[in-house]
Structure 1
Amino acid sequence: MNRKYTIPSDEDLTAFIDGELTPEETARIEAIMNEDESVAERLEFLARASLPFEQAFAPLLAEAPRAKLQTMLAAIPVQQSARSDPMPAFASRRRFLGALAASLVAGIAVDRAVIGIGRDFSAKDENSEWRSVVADYISLYTPETLAGPAPVREVQAAQLGPLDEKLGLSLSPEAVSLPGIDFKRALMLQYDGKPLAQIAYLDPETGPMALCIVKSDAGSKAPDLESRKGLNVIYWSNETHAFMLIGRIPADRMKELGEDVRRRLSA
């Protein structure tokens, strides 16, 4: 396919979301969105995702050569901005540093907790969309992301407690355990203004996995299987919540694990 335009970078799309572009740049990206569905979908992902990437990848960022990067940035000459209002030098360098840091975590924007956007996007199936966001997030995990010993039962229960309170569920360590797979941590995230529980595991053979739960009024749905970002996903829902189990475990094994944890969560 021969395009007559350049695909905007995540930095350009983020600036578009934040209203930092000139009218000409804004019009250019809007025109590309109308022509290219993949750009519109990427923009919608960046606008709606509110998962704490910074928290998940803090160990990686902590190991980044910050002092060296800062020295390199200090040596970069400041160029006149093409924007209508000149950007201060520190802001330009800060954005460049942000781009470098983002490259350490596969180009995903870090910790976009609250994003306001006054533009309309095409409506999509809510249950499908949240699974897409989670798959983008989990696909960045490596075994090193979840390195360290598995917490004892008391610590697991303490981590699951706040999830119970936010989601109105009863999540015990036994209810969410996966046979032969280590429980690593439980986090309360946020998707589209709603609490999203993530229980992360580490399979010794295939790597990171996660059980994710979000409130949903879309109604009950029997378990189904799909593939996203090279990961297998089994998902289902009841009258009040939607669930997904995601990882690189083969599909047949994923089905077994999903059915098992679904049965325990329904008990």
Structure 2
Amino acid sequence: MNAKYTTPSDEDLTAFIDGELTAEDAARIEAILKKDEHVAERLEFLARASLPFEQAFAPLLQEAPREKLERMLDAIPAREGAKSAVAPAFASRRRFLAALAASLVAGIAIDRAVLGLGRGFSAKDENSEWRAVVADYISLYTAETLAGPSPARGSQAAQLAPLDEKLGLSLSPEAVSLPGVDFKRALLLQYDGKPLAQIAYLDPETGPMALCIVRSDAGAKAPELESRKGMNVVYWSNGRHAFMLIGHAAADRMAAIADGVRGRVAA
């Protein structure tokens, strides 16, 4: 390809998806899409990210320095000729993502879930693809991300209840308890209507650890070990769910922890 052009940023592509570009800029990106399959794939990736952004990150935005974020967003020059209708605060996906990015600058840790779950889970690739996207956002966690006291048993049970309902599991604080590792939170994530459970822990010795679960009809699979993003991953499946335990602990310790929780977590 001899023609030279500037590869569109994710913000440009998202604005294209949302119809916020001028006719000239939209035509430029359309021309690039016809020539560059990587840009086309990235556009599809962003277009499929149909997560409930505002609902999922409402607690984060409540804690964020709103005045500072609004000043930063107001400083972004408007695109000449773009749609002039003023959307409600954070209603535009581009502005919402910009606010989340500003939150990071302010030192607020966010889940990569909103950005990382770029592809749905299908029978042919769930054995590896879902672990890849989970590893991608867990790699952003630090000990500070999960700092603070562990929730009481009652609070743990309340956080686990939605996971039970959506994934058809029977999880209790005792079932998901890991030896020597502190339970921090349980989250229900979703992409393309498919639930993903994430139970986050903090290991005092090695840092963040997580047990993640998705529905799977790929059949039972004995535990196996792999390395992703500098972390050790133990993964297995039963007749209805696929599981992965991911963390920075040594492989033998991760395998031992996974073996214990595997015997306690049942559908």
SS of the aligned residue for 2:184 comes to strand
Q: 1:206 to 1:90 in 2, by over 3 A?
A: farther
Aligned counterpart in structure 2 of residue 24 of structure 1, from 5, 24, 28? 28
Q: Are positions 1:12 and 2:12 aligned together?
A: yes
Q: Which residue of 1 aligns with 2:207?
A: 207
Q: Deviations over 1:129-162 (max 9, x none)?
A: 2222222222222222222211222222222222
Q: Which residue of 2 aligns with 1:50?
A: 51
Name structure 1 gaps, 5 residues minimum. Answer: 116-121
Cα displacement (A) at 1:203:
0.9
The CA distance in 2 between the partners of 1:201 and 1:71, in whole Å, is 35
The CA distance in 1 between the partners of 2:205 and 2:96, in whole Å, is 36
The CA distance in 2 between the partners of 1:211 and 1:90, in whole Å, is 42
**Aligned AA for 1:28?**
I
Q: TM-score if structure 1 supplies the norm length?
A: 0.74
Q: 1:6 to 1:139 in 2, by over 3 A?
A: farther
**Aligned AA for 2:45?**
E
Q: TM-score if structure 2 supplies the norm length?
A: 0.74
Cα displacement (A) at 1:177:
0.9
Q: 1:110 to 1:220 in 2, by over 3 A?
A: closer
Q: Which residue of 2 aligns with 1:154?
A: 154
1:1-267 superposed matches below 5 A? 5-18=5-18, 22-32=26-36, 34=37, 36=38, 40=41, 43-44=44-45, 47-48=48-49, 50=51, 55=56, 58-59=59-60, 64-74=64-74, 78-81=78-81, 86-88=82-84, 95=94, 98-99=97-98, 101-102=100-101, 104-105=103-104, 111=114, 125-266=125-266
4+ residue runs of structure 1 moved beyond 6 angstroms? Answer: 106-110
Q: Deviations over 1:190-216 (max 9, x none)?
A: 133112111111111222211111111
The CA distance in 1 between the partners of 2:260 and 2:35, in whole Å, is 48
SS of the aligned residue for 1:126 comes to coil
**Aligned AA for 1:177?**
S
SS of the aligned residue for 1:252 comes to helix
Q: Deviations over 1:6-44 (max 9, x none)?
A: 443222333354465524313313532x2x49x736853
Cα displacement (A) at 1:58:
4.5
**Aligned AA for 1:128?**
S
Q: 1:52 to 1:202 in 2, by over 3 A?
A: farther
8 Å CA contact 2:113–2:189 kept in 1: the answer is no
The CA distance in 1 between the partners of 2:167 and 2:97, in whole Å, is 33
Q: Deviations over 1:36-94 (max 9, x none)?
A: 49x736853772473869746945x556543234335545654524xxxx332856x97
Cα displacement (A) at 1:185:
1.4
Q: CA RMSD in A?
A: 3.8
Figure out how many residues of one structure are paired with residues of the other and give that number: 249
Name structure 2 gaps, 5 residues minimum. Answer: none
SS of the aligned residue for 1:226 comes to strand
Q: 1:18 to 1:226 in 2, by over 3 A?
A: farther
